[in-house]
Amino acid sequence: MKDYLAESTKGAAVKRVLNEALEILIAVGIPAVAEPIRRRERMAACMMAVAGVTKKWSEAKSAKDGRHLKTREVIRS
């Protein structure tokens, strides 16, 4: 896996999950590579918050799990 956050001061475990989120975002066509490192971190963190992921992707929630977020809940995350 490519390290999109090489210059980040985050811990290794956090960087791993953030990089995995960025891989997903890039795979669906979000142009994250051209963004500054801090913006990439925020993009990945927001995606993880919406999915309910904290440490591993097996925690991810979806609409099938009854997870229906309101806009204010997404923004608060």
| Sole residue written with tokens 């290794």 | 12
| Sole residue written with tokens 């896996």 | 1
CA 37/CA 40 separation, integer angstroms: 5
| Backbone angles phi and psi of 69, in degrees to 5 | -90, 140
- Tell me the CB-side half-sphere exposure of residue 41, using CA atoms within 13 A: 12
With a cut of 80, say whether residue 63 has pLDDT above it: no
Q: How many domains does the chain have?
A: 1
CA 15/CA 3 separation, integer angstroms: 8
Residue 20, domain member (yes or no) = yes
Task: Find the domain containing 48 and state its range.
Answer: 12-76
* pTM, full prediction: 0.81
Residue 40, domain member (yes or no) = yes
Residue 56, domain member (yes or no) = yes
Q: Tens of pLDDT along 3-62? A: 999 989 999 999 999 999 999 999 999 999 999 999 999 999 999 988 888 888 888 887
